[in-house]
């Protein structure tokens, strides 16, 4: 149910364009690849057409394998150990550990990140999962029904949120279910609503056969980005714990969800993917 470019496992393809890219310590973009934190200006590597930094440091660097079995794998990355150059452009050392476990028709990931430095660690986490379309070979991608329990979207300028929230328009009923059709997305949604069990769920479904892929995550993920790649063979529904460009937006007084971890402090969350038929 996941999409990847041919020969992606060879390691030569763009790491942000297949599978489940992990975005940390910042998901999305930072304007001008520069930000201010505690009175110090930090500079990052530009990564998009507008000169913004994008998607953190860990999606394109080598992780260490710390556990593996037939149904479970655990990987770990620590800035000071695996790429010390990161510490020149981020305020504190960090370690992130992610596990994946197959449980029947579920893929469960547990994400834990922690401040391993002496100063404060500003951070946010997101995933950029590419869900394969159509869900079934005999179906059509355009007929896929997209559901995400969102109520608002962020106005954007050059792929960055301006800080203005707007209500969903009548032609984007994502909270009730939207036929993909010819819709194109690279859109920041917010105002997510959890189910009675406290989990937030997005859903892709095939109306011709009832096949569905459900993504469940904790309410700490306050944003959900929808993205349709140009090839139209996949769609991304990306839960983020914070808004992109959160340093600037926080300074302007917006609630962004950016976390500030103290030395030794850790945070854990999980994301579950489930196939139903």
Is the residue at 114 inside a domain?
yes
**How many helices (H) and strands (E) would you count in the chain?**
2, 23
Is the residue at 2 inside a domain?
no
SS3 255: coil
pLDDT, mean of residues 239-250: 98
What pLDDT, on a 0 to 100 scale, did the predictor assign at position 11? 86
DSSP string, 73-140: EEEEEEHHHH-GGGGGTSSS-EEEEEEEEEETTEEEEEEEEEE-SSS-EEE--EE--EEESSSSTTS-
What pLDDT, on a 0 to 100 scale, did the predictor assign at position 234? 98
Can you list the alpha helix ranges (DSSP code H) found in the chain?
79-82, 246-251
Average pLDDT of the chain? 96
Cβ burial 115-132 (10 Å sphere, 16+ → b, else e)? bbbeebbbbbbbbbbbbb
C-alpha–C-alpha distance, residues 109 and 218, integer Å: 12
Q: How confident is the model at residue 91 (pLDDT cuts 50, 70, 90)?
A: very high
CA-based diameter of the chain, in Å?
Answer: 57
pLDDT tens digit sequence for 68-81: 999 999 999 999 99
Spatial contact of 141 and 134, defined as CB atoms under 8 Å apart: yes
Is the residue at 3 inside a domain?
no
Q: What is the CATH number for 269?
A: 2.70.98.10
Q: How confident is the model at residue 111 (pLDDT cuts 50, 70, 90)?
A: very high
pLDDT tens digit sequence for 161-172: 999 999 998 889
What pLDDT, on a 0 to 100 scale, did the predictor assign at position 170? 85
Is the residue at 144 inside a domain?
yes
Residue 154 has pLDDT above 90, yes or no: yes
Q: How confident is the model at residue 9 (pLDDT cuts 50, 70, 90)?
A: confident
Q: Which domain holds residue 254?
A: 8-276
C-alpha–C-alpha distance, residues 89 and 47, integer Å: 15
C-alpha–C-alpha distance, residues 122 and 37, integer Å: 9
Q: Count of domains in the chain?
A: 1
Is the residue at 169 inside a domain?
yes
What pLDDT, on a 0 to 100 scale, did the predictor assign at position 169? 85
Residues 6+ apart with CB under 8 A from 275: 1, 105, 106, 211, 212, 213
pLDDT tens digit sequence for 206-235: 999 999 999 999 999 999 999 999 999 999
C-alpha–C-alpha distance, residues 165 and 224, integer Å: 13
Residue 173 has pLDDT above 90, yes or no: yes
Residues 6+ apart with CB under 8 A from 52: 29, 30, 31, 32, 33, 46, 159, 160, 245
Q: What is the pTM of this model?
A: 0.96
Is the residue at 180 inside a domain?
yes
pLDDT tens digit sequence for 189-211: 999 999 999 999 999 999 999 99
Query: Residue with structure tokens 């010390």?
Result: 84
Is the residue at 238 inside a domain?
yes
Is the residue at 174 inside a domain?
yes
Tokens of 192: 């997510």
C-alpha–C-alpha distance, residues 220 and 170, integer Å: 27
What pLDDT, on a 0 to 100 scale, did the predictor assign at position 259? 98
For residue 142, give the nearest of 174, 173, 179 by alpha carbon: 179
C-alpha–C-alpha distance, residues 231 and 123, integer Å: 31
Residue 29 has pLDDT above 90, yes or no: yes
């Amino acid at each position: 149910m996941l999409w990847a470019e041919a020969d992606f496992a060879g390691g030569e393809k763009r790491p942000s364009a297949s599978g489940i890219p992990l975005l940390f310590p910042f998901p999305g973009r930072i304007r001008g690849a520069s930000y201010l934190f505690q009175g110090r200006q930090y500079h990052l590597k530009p990564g998009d057409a507008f000169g913004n930094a994008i998607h953190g440091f860990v999606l394109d660097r080598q992780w260490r394998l710390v556990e593996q079995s037939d149904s479970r794998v655990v990987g770990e990355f620590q800035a000071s150990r695996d790429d010390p150059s990161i510490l020149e452009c981020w305020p504190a050392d960090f370690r992130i550990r992610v596990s994946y476990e197959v449980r029947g028709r579920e893929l469960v990931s547990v994400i834990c990140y922690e401040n391993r430095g002496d100063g404060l660690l500003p951070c946010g986490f997101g995933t950029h999962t590419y869900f394969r379309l159509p869900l079934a070979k005999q179906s059509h991608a355009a007929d896929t029904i997209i559901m995400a329990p969102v109520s608002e979207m962020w106005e954007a300028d050059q792929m960055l949120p301006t800080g203005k929230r707007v209500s969903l328009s009548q032609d984007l009923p994502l909270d009730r279910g939207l036929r993909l059709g010819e819709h194109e997305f690279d859109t920041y949604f917010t105002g997510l609503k959890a189910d009675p069990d406290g989990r937030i769920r997005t859903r892709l479904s095939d109306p011709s056969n009832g096949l569905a892929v459900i993504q469940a995550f904790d309410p700490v993920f306050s944003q959900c980005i929808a993205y349709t790649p140009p090839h139209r063979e996949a769609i991304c529904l990306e839960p983020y714990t914070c808004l992109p460009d959160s340093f600037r937006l926080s300074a302007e007084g917006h609630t962004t969800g950016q976390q500030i971890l103290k030395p030794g402090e850790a945070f854990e969350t999980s994301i579950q993917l489930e196939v139903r038929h």
